[in-house]
Amino acid sequence: MPAQPKQRFPWLPWRPLWFEMCGTAVLLLVGLSLVTAMFGAGGPLAQLIPSVRLRQIITGLLFGTVGASVALSVVGKESGAHLNPVVTMVFCLFRKIDLKTALQYVVAQLAGAVLGCLPLLAWGTRGQSISFGVTVPGAVYSTQAALLGEIVTTFTMISLLVVFLGFRRLRPFTPAIFPILYAILVPLEADISGTSTNPARSFGPAVVSGEWQAWWIYWVGPLIGALLASVACSFLAKRITVAKLYYFDSDRDGLFRRMSSSGFAGASTEASESEHAAAGRETK
């Protein structure tokens, strides 16, 4: 029987990273195309839906639906569909993903964000009119207000995510929080900071447009918000089974189970196995 060829760079989980990059690319390509169609200069939707607030609600709902759809797709099955560096950071803080893999995920997310934004150049002048969906502080708001907005909105998003993942009855509905959440957050926050809550979401259009105004806000704000949420919800950390938003019992090569089971050395093995088994029953 011929020997199996050795995999190059065995320390890289290629499959999850590939899907994470593709999922982030899809999120930004589709999501920011919706933003451009709704708010780009000369678009027919502005005349069809003259209320800016209503368009913000619809855009938030659809953007969140894109993220939820990615989580429910093969991307969610293979990579967990974090699609956001601060989501990965919280899973790392909760010891559901190791630091090395978490850093690789962030690189994949940023690469996917740029790849997903490159096709936005096809929108031409309509895309240029809104800098291809870049997030910048509102004209009448201070940098401090935009930073606080990103902290509060990210804190809200991460707290809800942890609560849904931490309770077995809520866990299967985790992807459903995003359409509703962003339909609420976008009209409240868009005029202040642009409602990023995701450094990758801000990084992609900044690279494509060359618009880096107050770019640090969209790293510092989400990171602080996510850190505060992880502290506030730390009591739920041991109840989260794996670093995924869905497909909790699907784990090719056992990568996610290995990272999660080695995270809390002091936790009860029996309790961990019971939680994993319950998660498996929920998604079958």
Which amino acid is residue 230, in one-letter code? Answer: S
Residue 38 has pLDDT above 90, yes or no: yes
Residues in the chain, how many?
Answer: 284
pLDDT at 1: 47
- Asked whether residue 202 is domain-assigned, the answer is yes
For residue 84, the Cα-to-chain-centroid distance in whole angstroms is 3
pLDDT at 263: 59
CA distance 222 to 157: 10
In the 3-class helix/strand/coil scheme, how is 187-251 assigned residue by residue? HHHCCCCCCCCCHHHHHHHHHHHCCCCCCCHHHHHHHHHHHHHHHHCHHHHHHCCCCCCCCCCCC
pLDDT per position as a tens digit, 72-97: 999 999 999 999 999 999 999 999 99
- Asked whether residue 1 is domain-assigned, the answer is no
- Asked whether residue 6 is domain-assigned, the answer is no
CA distance 87 to 136: 22
- What's the pLDDT band for 13 if we cut at 50, 70, 90? confident
pLDDT at 259: 87
- Asked whether residue 51 is domain-assigned, the answer is yes
Question: Which residue, 223, 202, 216, is CA-closest to 144?
Answer: 216
SS3 279: helix
- Asked whether residue 139 is domain-assigned, the answer is yes
Number of folded domains that form the chain? 1
Helix axes 85-93, 217-232, angle to 10 degrees: 30
- Asked whether residue 284 is domain-assigned, the answer is no
- Asked whether residue 93 is domain-assigned, the answer is yes
pLDDT per position as a tens digit, 142-151: 999 999 999 9
CA distance 99 to 18: 18
CA distance 217 to 137: 9
CA distance 33 to 165: 30
User: Are 279 and 168 spatial neighbours (Cβ–Cβ below 8 Å)?
Assistant: yes
pLDDT at 272: 44
pLDDT per position as a tens digit, 267-283: 433 334 444 444 444 44
Residue-number span of the structural domain to which 71 is assigned? 14-279
Residue whose tokens read 């809800």: 160
For residue 196, the Cα-to-chain-centroid distance in whole angstroms is 10
Instruction: Check which CATH number belongs to the domain holding 255 and give it.
Output: 1.20.1080.10
Q: Other C-beta atoms within 10 Å of 82: how many?
A: 30
pLDDT at 43: 84
50 burial level (CB within 10 Å; 0-12, 13-18, 19+):
exposed
- Asked whether residue 5 is domain-assigned, the answer is no
